[in-house]
Amino acid sequence: MAAAWGRRGGSALLRGALGAAPGRACSTGAPVRAPTATAQELQSSGRGRFLLEHAAPFSAFLTDSFGRQHNYLRISLTEKCNLRCQYCMPEEGVQLTPKSELLTAQEIITLARLFVKEGVEKIRLTGGEPLIRPDVVDIVGQLNKLEGLKTIAITTNGINLARLLPRLKEAGVNAVNISLDTLVPAKYEFIVRRKGFHKVMEGIHKATELGYHPVKVNCVVMRGFNEDELLGFVEFTKDLPLDVRFIEYMPFDGNKWNFKKMVSYKEMLDTIKQRWPELEKLPCEASSTAKSYKVPHFQGQISFITSMSEHFCGSCNRLRITADGNLKVCLFGSSEVSLRDHLRSGASQEELVEIIGAAVSRKKKQHAEPALMSFPLRQDALQYPPNSKQCGHTSSHWPTLRASLSKQMEKALLKNKLPGQLILPVSHPEQQCYIRTRILQTQMRGFCVFQKDTSSTFDTKCLEASPVGQVSADCQLKEASPGSEFCTRDSASCSEVPRASDNLTHTDEEGRATMVDVGGKPDSRRRAVAGAVVRLGEKAFGMVRQNQMKKGDVLAVAQIAGIQGAKLTSQLIPLCHNIPLSHVEVSLSLDEARCAVVIHCSCQTWGKTGVEMEALTAASLAALTVYDMCKAVTHDIVIEEVKLLSKTGGQRGDFSRA
């Protein structure tokens, strides 16, 4: 261990000697340390050659099992905040950790020195609100003395920035991020539940006056609150050296909002490009979390933090220390290691490095996104392996396949507001075979029974006679039978709705399953509405109504599951076409009389085939998600009345359930 420690120290010394980490960007006026020697001087000296030959490339303790090198450390100075942002903290605040359990200034410096010796080059001070900590300037000054540290940054809400920034700059802060979600004073007060808009603006201008370039402005974009200000924020960069960073809204556990509030990066970019089509993409570093753009001739630029729609786990180089001294290797991860306890128990530097290295080595390849820990499908669909003869692989592959599918489903569910079609990311044919087979089996076993008399024609009367509780849907609704007449809704030249074929359209002449060719059909506007009811019982219903389920907001997650289900229908129902949906709407309401959740789903498209199956899949997956999130309270849950309520468009005419 001692040898490894010595090599790390030698590597840190080499970085300083080469001038790679001697000081900080001079544009802010912060102190800059002069390099002690050039690369040529090192090569010509015996000491330099020794360092070049023996220095470690990067600390093994800060390199995880996926090769990611962590040279960026975020340190929370306090849990306290002088604002109560609606997307961040409840109005009454949060229960604070006793002061005795928080890191002291000396403990912060001790841990920071340890990380810098191991290769950390950037430290960001966060909170809560870091500028309400009385000794923040002193902490910055001590950090500024750490050899090898390139950047000291601070993230603040800006309330105290104008007053403290001159002293912070002198102490060594050379990068500033300021949180501002609106340019409208009244809206600012509503979002943060406090006054202070003009103080934040004063802080932004003070930062530009002091030479910070760029001044980063963090804006969390929320649908229904500030997405209408995107253009205003871009205009804000015209005459000021700002980097306005639009952050996708992230629904953390304590959050009372829901997924409808998220505006995706692509949607924001499309809105901005409509106003400034000349918007230019800027190059970025591999470890950057931002996608940066610039309007030509503007002083500043804009960036997008795509934490929800396009995560950046693969290049993550960040570690975090909480205010009470816990090391978090992933913002979304639940695992923490208390460095404070080890520090106070007298652990040596070598022991602390071992503890840190062990935590970093356990870092996962990708974070588990909050509030969506399971894909909204019936759990038994992932419990049993499919028939190996059906899918062509042995049961020995099943544990790995099941785990892989579960993770991919979680990932797929999060892509809930992106335009276009989302394809379930499966990479193996057996996964495709399995997912279609098991979901179909699960639906049939659970509640889906449809009987058809092949000797009779199939029309809307047959649909109206379908018993409640069954999925009254047949893929024949979506396709035109060969040789039948075609009649559009607006056509006056056709007096009757053609009947479906007496033969199944999804089988070939030999009785094998096949997709219907709709290539010759004309496009038309299609819409379908489906519904479902989930009876929960009094106890579970009360917990859903009060939003007290441990898994999160049942109605919000089920809504997104339904939307996602509609977009994934062709992946779940084998013979359905992949339809470019123009709109999906899923609403859930509470029926107190029945202690039930009532689900209503509508889908629209302009295309060659209908969207009944998409609407029914949305209703089914939303219902199954409600079941999944409530089953820990009771298993006496009944899913019923899954049915098509109406459809419009297509050659068979409109349908509306009485």
CA-CA distance, 431 to 422, in Å (whole number)? 17
**CATH number reported for the structural domain that contains residue 287 in this entry:** 3.20.20.70
Asked if residue 360 lies in contact with residue 70, where contact means CB atoms within 8 angstroms, the answer is yes
506-559 confidence digits (pLDDT tens): 666 666 777 777 777 888 899 999 999 999 999 999 999 888 888 888 998 999
Helical segments of 489-599, H only: 538-545, 554-567, 569-572
What confidence score (pLDDT) does residue 318 get? 92
Q: Among 65-79, 431-445, 519-533, which range has the highest average pLDDT? A: 65-79
Phi and psi dihedrals of 416, rounded to 5? -100, -15
Amino acid at 367: H
pLDDT of residue 493: 37
Last residue of a domain, one of 362, 393, 421: 362
Phi/psi at 12 (5° precision): -65, -40
Q: Is the pLDDT score of 435 beyond 50? A: no
Give the domain-ending residue among 322, 337, 362.
Answer: 362
To which H or E segment does residue 430 belong?
helix 429-446
Domain boundary among 346, 362, 378: 362
Task: Look up residue 452 and give its amino acid.
Answer: K
Is 36 inside a domain boundary? no
Residue with tokens 């969506």: 372
Residue 503's SS3 state is: coil
The H or E element that residue 165 is part of is helix 161-171
Residues 6+ apart with CB under 8 A from 134: none
Determine the Cα–Cα distance for residues 272 and 246; give it in Å rounded to an integer.
Answer: 12
Q: Of the candidates 131, 135, 152, which has an alpha carbon nearest to the alpha carbon of residue 143?
A: 152
Q: Is residue 142 part of a domain?
A: yes
Tell me what the mean pLDDT of segment 98-108 comes to: 94
More confident residue, 510 or 657: 657
Provide the pLDDT confidence category of residue 499 given band limits of 50, 70 and 90.
Answer: very low
CATH number assigned to the domain comprising residue 592: 3.30.70.640
Catalytic machinery residues: 628
Q: DSSP class of residue 58?
A: S
Q: Judging by beta carbons within 10 Å of its beta carbon (0-12, 13-18, 19+), is residue 60 exposed, middle or buried?
A: middle
Rg (CA), the chain: 30
The mean per-residue pLDDT over the stretch 166-173 comes to 97
Query: Can you say how many angstroms the Cα of residue 531 is from the centroid of all Cα atoms in its chain?
Result: 28
Contact 300, 238 (CB under 8 A): yes
Neighbours of 402 (CB within 10 A): 17
**Residues 35/22, Cβ–Cβ less than 8 Å:** yes
Q: Decide: helix, strand or coil at residue 619.
A: helix
Residue 21 lies in a domain: no
d(C-alpha 212, C-alpha 300), whole Å: 12
Task: List the 72-76 sheet strands across, edge first.
Answer: 280-281, 290-294, 301-305, 242-248, 215-221, 175-179, 151-156, 122-126, 72-76, 318-321, 326-328, 337-338
- Residue 360 is predicted with a pLDDT of 92
Q: What value does the mean pLDDT of the chain take?
A: 75
The whole-angstrom separation of Cα 271 and Cα 291 is: 16
Q: Is the pLDDT of residue 400 over 90?
A: no
* Predicted confidence band of residue 401 (pLDDT cuts 50, 70, 90): very low
Answer yes or no: is 201 within a domain. yes
Q: What is the pLDDT of residue 1?
A: 37
- How far, in whole angstroms, is CA 129 from its chain's centroid? 24
> Between residues 276 and 421, which one has the greater pLDDT?
276
CA distance 133 to 160: 11
Range of the domain at 651: 524-656
Indicate the pairing of strand 72-76 with strand 318-321. parallel
- The b-or-e profile of 107-130 (16+ CB within 10 A means b, else e) is bbbbbbbbbbbbbbbbbbbbbbbb
Percent of the chain, pLDDT > 90? 45
The pLDDT, as a whole number, for residue 652 is: 77
In a domain, 22, yes or no: no
Domain total of the chain: 2
Instruction: Classify residue 175 as exposed, middle or buried by CB count within 10 Å of its CB (0-12, 13-18, 19+).
Output: buried
CA 592/CA 99 separation, integer angstroms: 45
Pairing of strands 215-221, 175-179: parallel
* Alpha-carbon span 386 to 467, nearest angstrom: 31
d(CA 524, CA 190): 45
pLDDT higher than 60, residue 258: no
Cα-to-chain-centroid distance, residue 91? 25
Q: Which residues of 571-593 are buried (b: 16+ CB within 10 A; e: fewer)?
A: bbbbbbbebebeebbbebeeeee
CB-side exposure of 597: number of CA atoms within 13 Å? 31
Per-residue pLDDT band for 206 (boundaries 50, 70, 90) equals: very high
Q: Do 641 and 605 form a contact (C-beta atoms < 8 A)?
A: no
3 state DSSP class of 352: helix
Q: For residues 295 and 320, what is the distance between their CA atoms, to the nearest angstrom? A: 34
Can you tell me the mean pLDDT for 323-342?
Answer: 89
Q: How far apart are CA 163 and CA 169, in angstroms?
A: 12
Question: What are the structure tokens assigned to 281, written together?
Answer: 């993409």
**Confidence at residue 46, expressed as pLDDT on a 0 to 100 scale:** 52
Tokens 């080499």 correspond to what residue?
14
Residue 523, pLDDT score: 84
Is residue 537 included in any domain, yes or no?
A: yes
| Paired residues of 281 in beta bridges | 293
Distance CA 288, CA 298 (A): 22
**CB within 8 Å of 186: residues ≥ 6 apart:** none
Distance CA(237)–CA(290), nearest Å, equals 17
Q: Which two tokens stand for residue 549?
A: 């389920």
135 vs 113: CA distance, rounded Å: 18
Q: Helix 398-414 vs helix 554-567: angle between axes, to the nearest 10 degrees? A: 100
Most confident range, picked from 86-90, 337-341, 381-385: 337-341
The residue written with tokens 């997956």 in the block is 621
pLDDT per residue as tens digits for the range 221-253: 988 888 999 999 999 999 999 999 999 887 654
Residue 398 pLDDT > 50: no
pLDDT at 610 over 80: yes
User: Is 595 inside any structural domain?
Assistant: yes
Any domain includes 178:
yes
Decide if pLDDT at 143 tops 80: yes
Beta bridge partners of 319: 73
